[in-house]
Amino acid sequence: MSNSVTTGMLPDHYEQLAKTVRDFAQSVVAPVAAKHDEEHSFPYEVVSGMADMGLFGLPFPEEYGGMGGDYFALCLALEELGKVDQSVAITLEAGVSLGAMPVYRFGNEDQKQEWLPLLASGKALGAFGLTEAGGGTDAGATKTTARLDDGHWIINGSKQFITNSGTDITKLVTVTAVTGATGPRGQERSDSGDGHGKKEISSILVPVPTEGFTAEPAYNKVGWNASDTHPLSFDDVRVPQENLLGERGRGYANFLRILDEGRIAIAALSVGAAQGCVDECVKYAKEREAFGQRIGAYQAIAFKIARMEARAHAARTAYYDAAALMLAGKPFKKAAAIAKLVASEAAMDNSRDATQVFGGYGFMNEYPVARHYRDSKILEIGEGTTEVQLMLIAREAGL
């Protein structure tokens, strides 16, 4: 069985972090993963353990309650968690890169001081309200609106597929909303977005609870059953004008930056899933016997697992590269899209092959490979579909 981080490949502090999270994943997460998946229950005890380890604060400075690490450290943690339970991994990923990171990247000092220590502690979760029924990637289809009234934003509309939005510890939802429309030369034409100009989209912080905000009943999903996901509704939600996050009209552009970063994190999670399938198959192929010998001795099985290992390795290299560019302050949009594309497909392909290696057992939900098979499909959809990644890669290539 190969580890995701080979000794000597990375600096010691990264190696130690990966080992610590790996041990936690195996000893704390894995034993309860099947139970939470079957019950569709949120793993509060696991999240509390991650909070105690400081995982939710990994990429944030100590002055804001963080661990003083970086985004690559978060990715290493996600890879290790993704090996055994994607629901737990996405809870961390969304809590950090979608819940807290927008405040860190675009918030003013007062907003950072108010929210980051709480979110970085892991004692509270933030959510990212972008996707709507008629538009996620399509910003022009955004229908949620926010208008100013006596020093407050009045928000009306709905969002869907929002992770970490309805837990007992959810304390913040950041919402993108149409706050006006601009004319051909950029001048404001309407304060409500009802005019004919291009929609002005801003992002606004909504504390939870706030009157008029509702997390509707959770979805019944194919996978990620222990991850919290809800549609949201906003009915005359009233928050102070100061809750504007970043510059007015830059909400969608800012969140595109957040999604670029998040694709590296999703790639890391995907690599964990791909590698987890390899690890389970290697162990099973050494134990399971058919026709008088272990199935790993058959070339058909051995080669299938070898291809799985190659996919995981290639995908890991891709997200390492994207993370290195990001941390160096260099353009990383194309590398992030490549990493997300390659890694999500590796997870889906490996989970399918792992189910085949396990045969009938692979179709039983009690086995990790079955959960990976159900869970991995969303990796090709969330934070930008495969088609969106191809579009970005082609555009960055000059097409």
- What residues are labeled active site? 383
HEC letters along the chain? CCCCCCCCCCCHHHHHHHHHHHHHHHHHHHHHHHHHHHHCCCCHHHHHHHHHHCHHHCCCCHHHCCCCCCHHHHHHHHHHHHHHCHHHHHHHHHHHHHHHHHHHHHCCHHHHHHHHHHHHHCCCEEEEECCECCECCCHHHCCCEEEEECCEEEEEEEEEEEECCCCCCEEEEEEEEEEEEECCCCCEEECCCCCCCEEEEEEEEEECCCCCEEECCCCCCCCCCCCCEEEEEEEEEEEEHHHEECCCCCHHHHHHHHHHHHHHHHHHHHHHHHHHHHHHHHHHHHHCEECCEEHHHCHHHHHHHHHHHHHHHHHHHHHHHHHHHHHCCCCCHHHHHHHHHHHHHHHHHHHHHHHHHHHHHHHCCCCHHHHHHHHHHHHHCCCCCHHHHHHHHHHHCCC
Q: How many angstroms from the chain centroid is the CA of residue 254? A: 17
List the structure tokens of 260. Answer: 């670029």
The DSSP bridge partners found for residue 132 are 135
For residue 324, give the nearest of 124, 73, 19 by alpha carbon.
73
Contacts for 141 with CB less than 8 Å, ≥ 6 apart: 132, 134, 135
Pairing of strands 170-182, 125-129: parallel
Residue 53: Cβ within 10 Å count: 18
The two tokens of residue 353 are 């092959």
